[in-house]
Amino acid sequence: MKNKEKPTVVWFQAITCNGNTHSLLSANSNRLELFFDSFNLIYHPSLTIDKSLDDILNSNSKIDFLLVEGSISNNKKFFQISNNSTYNHLTKLIKKATYVISVGSCASFGGIHAMFKEHVGVKSVKEYFDKTLLKHQIINLGGCPVHPEWLLQTMFLLKDYGRIALDNEGRPKELYSSLVHHGCTRNEYFEWKVEGEFGTKEGCLFYDQGCRGPMTHGSCNKILWNDVSSKTRAGMPCVGCTEPTFPRDDMLNTKKNIGIPFEVPLGIPKRAYLSITGVAKTFKIDRLNKKLMD
């Protein structure tokens, strides 16, 4: 971590459950090794590093990558680190940084900490610092937690090319332009409207279990977790954690009116969706109503 040639990285933890740190440490070991070989992680509060937060704050050195985990508050009484608010710390850090990356849903969109009305002033990084004069836009890596590979890909892209295309929510298009539905192994069940149950391999979880795959931007079913699986592959509905609307109420239930889903897949008019659904339901395909393995 002493190599000055490598871009410097500071990981700042604000109001967080540390989930994104855990996620990073669960990355594919070869990729994590490549990350440590390619970047100079000079500060992370959960790892053994020879600098303290005060060292970073008081240093005049530039930071190449400032990674922020957790939502931000300007209220010292509500939450503080080293006798100061996360907002004040971040104000100083951001001025030193070239790239600022919000890691996970809390930093990107406020997340679970911002959802309670009692948590006045708890916001995302972008809500506080959008108008700050940064060389680059704040990058939002939505996800609860963010997939480690998404973070690593973003950092390597920026390191090698200096820029990355972002969508309207500030998320890298490379990683968030497709839907979680893409690559879902249950897509055939979705096409023919075969309902599934929580925890099973068969059936679509969109109809009853609240799955948000068809309306959530993310690569969960293309870049698999631990290289092998995803929520929907394991029988857990997508809860839409990469979107600004996360977390929603009653996430494991599909909101319906008179049996008709309140929301339909992105970009499809409701009338057209209902029409196709009615036709698809007509077909009873035995293969799709059986267990994959008896």
Partner 1 sequence: MENALKLFSQKGFYNTTIPDIAKAMKMSVGNMYNYFSSKEELAKYAIKYSTNILALELREINNMEISSKEKVSIFVNKYLENVQKSPEVIEYFLRVYLSNREVFKQGCEGFLCVGEFVTEVMILLDTGAQNKEFREQEFFPAFAMIMGCLGGFAFLSGEKVLDKDLLEYSDAVADNIYRALKYEE
Which residues make up the interface to partner 1 (CB under 8 A)?
256-260, 262, 270-271, 274-275, 278-279, 281-283
Smallest gap from residue 267 Cβ to partner 1 (A): 18
- The nearer residue to partner 1, 32 or 280, going by C-beta atoms, is 280
- The nearer residue to partner 1, 1 or 260, going by C-beta atoms, is 260
- The nearer residue to partner 1, 120 or 279, going by C-beta atoms, is 279
Smallest gap from residue 193 Cβ to partner 1 (A): 11
Smallest gap from residue 288 Cβ to partner 1 (A): 16
Cα 156 from chain centroid (whole Å): 18
Strand order through the sheet with 40-43: 40-43, 8-13, 63-69, 97-103, 139-141
Phi and psi angles of residue 125, each rounded to the nearest 5 degrees, phi first: -60, -45
From the list 103, 3, 2, the residue with the least C-alpha distance to 51 is 2
- The nearer residue to partner 1, 222 or 281, going by C-beta atoms, is 281
- The nearer residue to partner 1, 36 or 283, going by C-beta atoms, is 283
Q: Do 139 and 94 touch, CB atoms closer than 8 A? A: no
- The nearer residue to partner 1, 51 or 281, going by C-beta atoms, is 281
- The nearer residue to partner 1, 223 or 276, going by C-beta atoms, is 276
From the list 237, 238, 221, the residue with the least C-alpha distance to 229 is 221
From the list 203, 176, 149, the residue with the least C-alpha distance to 266 is 176
Smallest gap from residue 238 Cβ to partner 1 (A): 23
Contacts of 57 (CB under 8 A, 6+ apart): 89, 92, 93
Q: Do 253 and 210 touch, CB atoms closer than 8 A? A: yes
Smallest gap from residue 284 Cβ to partner 1 (A): 9
Question: Which tokens belong to 23?
Answer: 């996620």
- Integer Cα distance of 3 and 38 in angstroms: 10
Smallest gap from residue 71 Cβ to partner 1 (A): 32
Smallest gap from residue 244 Cβ to partner 1 (A): 22
Phi and psi angles of residue 40, each rounded to the nearest 5 degrees, phi first: -110, 95
Smallest gap from residue 276 Cβ to partner 1 (A): 9
Q: Do 174 and 157 touch, CB atoms closer than 8 A? A: yes
Q: For 28, which DSSP code? A: -
- The nearer residue to partner 1, 165 or 272, going by C-beta atoms, is 272
Residue 267, SS3? Answer: coil
